[in-house]
Amino acid sequence: LVSRENHPDRSTVHVGGVPIGPDTVTLIAGPCAVETPQQTLEAAQMAKAAGATLLRGGAYKPRTSPYAFQGLGEAGLRILADVREETGLPIVTEVVDAHDVDLVASYADMLQVGTRNAQNFALLQAVGAAGKPVMLKRGMNATIEEWLMAAEYIAQRGNLDIVLCERGIRTFETATRNTLDVSAVPVAQRLSHLPVIIDPSHSGGRRDLVLPLTRAAIAVGADGVIIDVHPHPEQALCDGPQALVDGDLRELAEIMRTFPQLM
Ligand code: PEP
């Protein structure tokens, strides 16, 4: 279903009216985690001012340590809904448990499946049946074939509104959190008709890499990027070191506007 064999034209997925696909490079931005109404609103306003058309933000956070901030849960979803009301930006938010899919789908414009759940087949089937577009991150240990098969689980439930997100894979390299596999973008786009975007924030885990990796994303033809922003990264409860502040995000958006014309 997700293969290009029977579907030669590349697809565009619409999220709350915003297109992600071959004719555009979509900027999705927002906080890694929803922490407070004020922080989420400020991050969303930064995103919107820079030109982002979708708001990201996690209410359910899949953290490596059980002692780390796990997200606000439904209270976080309510904050996202309020911020959508205020800014008009449709929401992309993660669901980590199949039992929460209906609840998260009742607030979200797009459901995100994260790298740690990328082969959680029960979750993939549940999001496939939820009637909302899905962003499927690549498992950090998944081959491209495994990633596409994970997308197939969603598609098999009748949902072809799937966006693939390359977010770095685990390699021997320790200088970055994960290694962004830029080649995965053209490879996945050749094998599948689904749009493919890049997450330069979670792959590198470092603010100073977000702009260079965004250039790389544009250069290889990614259909969009998803970026962490925070009004006060030093106070962030999750992944502060990779969050962009206002000026950085504007610079990134400017690169997205001008860089493609240089190539
Ligand atoms: C996220 O986008 O909030 C996230 C946790 O990403 P990943 O699943 O890629 O680590």
**What does pTM read for this prediction?**
0.97
Which atom of ligand 1 is nearest the CA belonging to 165? Answer: 9
Question: Tell me, what's the ipTM?
Answer: 0.99
Distance CA 59, CA 42 (A): 16
Which atom of ligand 1 is nearest the CA belonging to 238? Answer: 3
Which position has the token pair 């962004």?
A: 180
Q: What is the mean pLDDT of the chain?
A: 96
- Whether the CB-CB separation of 145 and 188 falls below 8 Å is answered with no
Q: Tokens standing for 222?
A: 């990614």
Q: pLDDT tens for residues 122-175? A: 999 999 999 999 999 999 999 999 999 999 999 999 999 999 999 999 999 999
Distance CA 35, CA 51 (A): 23
Looking at the predicted structure, is the pLDDT value of residue 259 above 80? no
| Residue 177 CB–ligand 1 contact under 6 Å | no
Q: State percent of the chain over pLDDT 90.
A: 97
| Residue 107 confidence class, pLDDT cut points 50, 70, 90 | very high
Positive or negative: CA dihedral 9, 123, 140, 40 = positive
- The answer for 196, left when phi > 0, alpha when psi is -120 to 50, beta otherwise, is beta
Looking at residue 17, the DSSP 8-state letter turns out to be: T
Q: What is the Å distance from ligand 1's center to 176 Cα? A: 15
Which atom of ligand 1 is nearest the CA belonging to 203? Answer: 9
- Whether the CB-CB separation of 119 and 146 falls below 8 Å is answered with yes
| Residue 263 confidence class, pLDDT cut points 50, 70, 90 | low
| Residue 227 CB–ligand 1 contact under 6 Å | no
